Amino acid sequence: MDDRWEVIDDAAARARSHLESARGAPVAPTADAVAGLDGLTSVLPDGPGAVAATLEQLDRLGSPAATRQSAGRYFGFVNGGVEPAGLAAAILALAWDQNAALPVMSPVAAHVDAVAARWIVDLLGLPPTATATFCAGASVANLTAIVAARDALLRRVGWDSADRGIVGAPPLAVVASEEIHSSVPKALRVAGLGSGSIVSIPTDGCGRARSDAVPATRGPTLVLLQAGNVNTGHSDPFREIIGQLDRQRTWVHVDGAFGLWANAAPERRALLDGVELADSWATDGHKWLNTPYDCGVAIVARGDDLVASMSQNAAYASATDGRSPMNMGVQMSQAARAVPVWAILATLGRSGVADAVERCCRNALRFADVLDAAGAEVLAPVVLNQVLVSFGDDETTDRVVAGVQDDRTCWMGGTEWHGARAMRISVSDTSTTEKDVDASAAAVIRVWHSLP
């Protein structure tokens, strides 16, 4: 027995204790816990110490200052919890310390990557010929797909952007839902297309792009739609919009960071009708699938388009047989992000994932019903895992959001929705129970009713 590794057992025990004690505990750390982090930022030690002491210090000072995001009562942003199967597999894979860039570097990473990618395409109801690849999150997935789209659209009009760049290239029109997620204009800027030239598709009262108001364009056009509006959870009418496009000169990309998972639940599939007709999609593992951070997925209908934009020439890392993740995305060295995805899917199976998605949707509806019965206003019909609530005027709504964050029973953020302030509730932790929803909704109502 080599006792250098005792610290691994210690870490696992501390991790378990952190997770167990988080259930039912206040969600946000106290101001004292946050102040205690100063203890971690003292001077760099002059020399070595004991790793056991390092870990003890990290747990004593760090754990209390962590947001308890995977204990059922965190409803901020679209932050998912962590599925135990994914966490356990990630711990094992961290010990493997594989570089998933090329199959020759890690047979296990390469194999699991290919299997998990195929399972994701299948679960999300996308064409079986589509190619999925793992990356750091939906922002990176959006960027990856937009670069592939840019290059493919220009190639169709005889411009080789891989060689010549985009300065002086034929114009590329960009059409996007007026409420497209902020990561998409950012990706357009990073891709050299700029966000100022976006022609918007106006949205309806639920935040969906209006199929009767798609602007006409000429020449190569990138069309950006979304599955899952980040405020309401509603999705664009894909079939109606894509059906009216000239598909010879358009590329449709769908940002489905969380919303694409509606397709994993048979009862929700109608929400995404026609989404499979797009050319590329972005989604996240760390949101609704509850993988550990970070994990995104870029999916492209024709894998060659991805490789054309992302392949990298290095004699020492020349293309080997099979999928090479370094030639399918922006990173060369990369974690084996597919491992926790594979473990969660292998553990839950098709029906387990469907149940997890469905449960979040039902709990979102429960939130809406309880708050509505208490007299709050639910601003958009709840169709997925997102709930938007107003408590009358903007000032009261902001005060309820701030009060709930101080109360610490649960955590929700605020947003601006069609000109009004709103509380935004996202049920993205699949471990959330009805009891968690009831306790959290009761806390919201208590805070609201006790406002001075």
User: Does 138 help bind ligand PLP (rule: CB under 6 A)?
Assistant: yes
Nearest residue by C-beta to ligand PLP? Answer: 137
User: Does 179 help bind ligand PLP (rule: CB under 6 A)?
Assistant: no
Q: How far is the CB of 209 from ligand PLP (least distance, A)?
A: 13
User: Does 177 help bind ligand PLP (rule: CB under 6 A)?
Assistant: no
User: Does 326 help bind ligand PLP (rule: CB under 6 A)?
Assistant: no
Nearer to ligand PLP, 190 or 370 (CB): 190
Token pair of 355 as six digits: 């149940």
Nearer to ligand PLP, 102 or 116 (CB): 116
Q: How far is the CB of 57 from ligand PLP (least distance, A)?
A: 30
- For CA atoms 343, 347, 349, 352, the dihedral sign is negative
The values of phi and psi at residue 349, to 5°, are: 70, 175
233-269 CB burial, b ≥16 within 10 A, e <16:
bbbbbbeebbeebeeeebbbbbbbbbbbbbbbbeebe
C-alpha 88/C-alpha 95 separation (Å) is 11
The values of phi and psi at residue 433, to 5°, are: -110, 170
User: Does 183 help bind ligand PLP (rule: CB under 6 A)?
Assistant: yes
DSSP string, 383-429: -SSEEEEE-SSHHHHHHHHHHHHHH-SSB-EEEEETTEEEEEEE---
Q: How far is the CB of 222 from ligand PLP (least distance, A)?
A: 16
| Size of site (CB under 6 A) for ligand PLP | 14
Could you tell me which residues come within 8 angstroms of residue 286 by beta carbon, excluding any fewer than 6 positions away?
80, 137, 292, 293, 294, 295, 296
Element (H, E) at 155: helix 138-156
Region binding ligand PLP by CB under 6 A among candidate stretches 255-263, 339-347, 362-370, 394-402: 255-263
Provide the residue type at 262 as one letter: A
User: Does 255 help bind ligand PLP (rule: CB under 6 A)?
Assistant: yes
Q: Please state, in angstroms and as integers, the Cα–Cα distance from residue 300 to each residue in 59, 77, 180, following that order.
A: 41, 26, 19
Q: How far is the CB of 347 from ligand PLP (least distance, A)?
A: 22
User: Does 279 help bind ligand PLP (rule: CB under 6 A)?
Assistant: no
Q: How far is the CB of 280 from ligand PLP (least distance, A)?
A: 14
Could you tell me which residues come within 8 angstroms of residue 65 by beta carbon, excluding any fewer than 6 positions away?
29, 33, 34, 36, 37
Q: How far is the CB of 257 from ligand PLP (least distance, A)?
A: 3
Nearer to ligand PLP, 169 or 384 (CB): 384
Nearer to ligand PLP, 220 or 296 (CB): 296
Site map 211..250 versus ligand PLP, x via CB under 6 A: ---------------x-x-x--------------------
The values of phi and psi at residue 216, to 5°, are: -80, 145
Could you tell me which residues come within 8 angstroms of residue 239 by beta carbon, excluding any fewer than 6 positions away?
273, 274, 277
Element (H, E) at 150: helix 138-156
Asked if the bond preceding 10 is cis, omega within 30° of 0, the reply is: no
Q: How far is the CB of 8 from ligand PLP (least distance, A)?
A: 29
User: Does 257 help bind ligand PLP (rule: CB under 6 A)?
Assistant: yes
Pairing state between β 250-255 and 131-135: unpaired
**424 neighbors 413 (Cβ within 8 angstroms):** yes
Region binding ligand PLP by CB under 6 A among candidate stretches 136-144, 338-346, 392-400, 442-450: 136-144
Region binding ligand PLP by CB under 6 A among candidate stretches 104-112, 137-145, 160-168, 436-444: 137-145
Nearer to ligand PLP, 138 or 154 (CB): 138
Chosen residue from 131, 133, 139, 235 binding ligand PLP by CB under 6 A: 139
Nearer to ligand PLP, 283 or 390 (CB): 283
Q: How far is the CB of 140 from ligand PLP (least distance, A)?
A: 6
Chosen residue from 150, 181, 234, 359 binding ligand PLP by CB under 6 A: 181
The values of phi and psi at residue 48, to 5°, are: -65, 155
User: Does 296 help bind ligand PLP (rule: CB under 6 A)?
Assistant: yes
Nearer to ligand PLP, 68 or 286 (CB): 286
Give the three-state DSSP class for 274.
Answer: coil
User: Does 78 help bind ligand PLP (rule: CB under 6 A)?
Assistant: yes
Q: How far is the CB of 142 from ligand PLP (least distance, A)?
A: 6
Q: Which residues bind ligand PLP (CB under 6 A)?
A: 78, 137-139, 181, 183, 226, 228, 230, 255, 257-258, 284, 296
